[in-house]
Amino acid sequence: MGLRAPVAEMMTARADALQLSRIVAGMWRMTEWNMAPQQRLAFIEQCLELGVSSFDHADIYGGYGVEALFGEALALKPALRGQMQIVSKCGIKLVSQARPAHTIQHYDTTAAHITASVEQSLRALRTDYLDLLLIHRPDPLMDFDEMAAAFTRLRAEGKVRHFGVSNFSRHQFEALNRRIPLATNQVEFSPLHLAPMFDETFDGLQDLGVPPMIWSPLGGGRLFSGGDAAGERLRACIQQVADEVRQPFASVVFAWIMQLPCKPVPLTGSGRIAAIQEAVQATQFTLSRQQWFEILRAARGHEVA
């Protein structure tokens, strides 16, 4: 419990110095944690004690229910709001009992939907502002000018302080970023999903000085479970490195990710504080270059050349 990550990490000077903790607590599974409001509050407080001050949401998480669970806990101790950063996302419309008007799952990045989603998130989270709002997925019908105008209005109204995207390609990110400064692109990345390292996503963000946020850094838990020979080879390699550096398996994975020069900010997905601690522990050590490439080699199944 005493191990701490840096409380804040500069995300980008271009976006008025948004600060997120080096590890971000992902809330998308909160409905599965079966916690009472007081237990949720205790979890939030334990995260803050560890230096994990940023909490990642989306309007759709938990069938449109997670934000309200978090807000209910925060209402028990409203003073904590000033110690944290709340991230949320919008742009996906699910078919759900909570949204009976939705007849087909689809994307909506119109100004009207962005604004309405923010208003609903603020009510559910019981806060006056979001620190960071992301467009959840690229929308084939998205209008970059309309989105930028919506962001500008929300900032002027004090409802959202910073903006970003999630799952955008390099070109999509840069097209919107030319219209309004973006703070991050939240993408999937892990030793099981290496695409952003090789499709210019990370290169482009590094060039702009914009750190990516990373979802599913542990491959949705698949790094820990059985699978094919390739998966077993990767697990064995990570475990060997973990034994060498005398650190937990998960900590090695988080450290491997954070060693990239684009300065990724990984998300956790667990309601267990021990799992949060292991992620935080990764901020305290660095792998050798040889160890780092051993994991990459195991992940790809071949040498770099």
List, by residue number, the catalytic residues: 61
Q: Which of 187, 211, 71, 59 is nearest to 133 (CA)?
A: 59
- What is the dihedral sign for C-alpha 245, 246, 249, 252? negative
Tell me the CA distances in angstroms from 154 to 43, 58, 132, one per residue in order: 30, 17, 11
Beta strands in 62-178 (DSSP E): 85-90, 92-93, 106-107, 132-135, 163-166
Q: Which of 258, 256, 278 is nearest to 266 (CA)?
A: 258
Q: How far apart are CA 174 and CA 204, in angstroms?
A: 8
Q: Which of 98, 84, 85 is nearest to 134 (CA)?
A: 85
